[in-house]
Amino acid sequence: MATLIEKPIDTLMKGSVDVEDLSVVFKRRDQYGPLLVLESTSFRIHPGEFVCLLGPSGCGKSTILNLIAGFLKPTKGRVLVDGYTVESPGADRGFVFQQYSLLPWKTTFQNVEFGLKIRGVSRAERTDLVNDYLNRVGLYNHRHSYPHQLSGGMQQRASIVRALVNSPSVLLMDEPFAALDAQTRHMMQELLLNIWSDLKSTVIFVTHDIEEAVFLSDRILVMGVRPGRIKETVEVNLDRPRHLDIMLSSEFLNLNRQVFELIREETLKSMELG
């Protein structure tokens, strides 16, 4: 449950996220002792913003996402969503996992409907809403299929609308397209931007793919390893709506190179540390 700590910051729109001086230490029983996963990290995300957390594996980007979701408790610091301290997972923060997160025993429709059903939304309203969302992502004709009958891309589309149908303040995405093939991944990125431009909910998107981060975000938080921390913030001022062909533009390529240089050093460090 969330408790009101202070006056909400952005009272007009929901979806603000404040990460305040967040540290996470994992206790390990092996010879290495406690591991500092995340060190005094602070940042603020504004309502409706699309932010990518980018970094090599082991930089704590998923840890940050898990803290915002409420799956993990910080060792120090706190996370505020719309001015309320996060204490446990909740429907105000939708989550899209890397893969295989649809309930295998529910059809596409039932999976997307699940959150609404929990909240006690009436059947008629549920049906309209779910069908509308399934239509947006081209899954209406697959609404009665079970997850194992869907392709990887379809499963992730279903996961995305399953989160969005509950109109969360924040959508948290943990490398949702990492397991897809390159073509499908690009199509999914474009699709995600399309839906997002309609809904304008805040998105925090974790990825290790530089192109993906530049293509999607308003702002990239580039992370460093050991200990995990925000190394640099990169503003992405590319025009919206964005289509895949901007990936060939010189602005895009410049940003790409800039981020690449930033992250290269950290990647090397993470490889040395293993």
Q: Which residues of the shown chain bind another protein in the complex (CB under 8 A)? A: 69-71, 88-91, 93-95, 97, 100-101, 103-106, 114-115, 118-119, 146-149, 162-163, 166
CB of 107 to another protein, least distance (A): 8
CB of 95 to another protein, least distance (A): 4
Cα(218)–Cα(202) distance, integer angstroms: 11
CB of 4 to another protein, least distance (A): 19
| Nearest to another protein of 91, 238 (CB atom) | 91
What own/partner pairs with CB < 8 Å and gap ≥ 24 does 66-69 have?
67/19, 67/22, 67/24, 67/38, 68/17, 68/19, 68/93, 68/170, 68/172, 68/204, 69/93, 69/95, 69/172
CB of 1 to another protein, least distance (A): 11
| Nearest to another protein of 94, 153 (CB atom) | 94
Contacts of 169 (CB under 8 A, 6+ apart): 14, 15, 47, 81, 82, 92, 93, 201, 202
CB of 91 to another protein, least distance (A): 3
| Nearest to another protein of 35, 91 (CB atom) | 91
For 95, the token pair is 């989550």
Contacts of 99 (CB under 8 A, 6+ apart): 152, 155, 156, 178, 179
The answer to whether the bond into 168 is cis (omega within 30° of 0) is no
| Nearest to another protein of 39, 92 (CB atom) | 92
CB of 146 to another protein, least distance (A): 4
| Nearest to another protein of 14, 229 (CB atom) | 14
Which three-class secondary structure state does DSSP give residue 256? helix
CB of 105 to another protein, least distance (A): 4
CA 68 to chain centre: 10
| Nearest to another protein of 118, 271 (CB atom) | 118
| Nearest to another protein of 114, 215 (CB atom) | 114
- Which of 47, 65, 51 is closest to 9 using CA atoms? 47
Cα(244)–Cα(87) distance, integer angstroms: 38
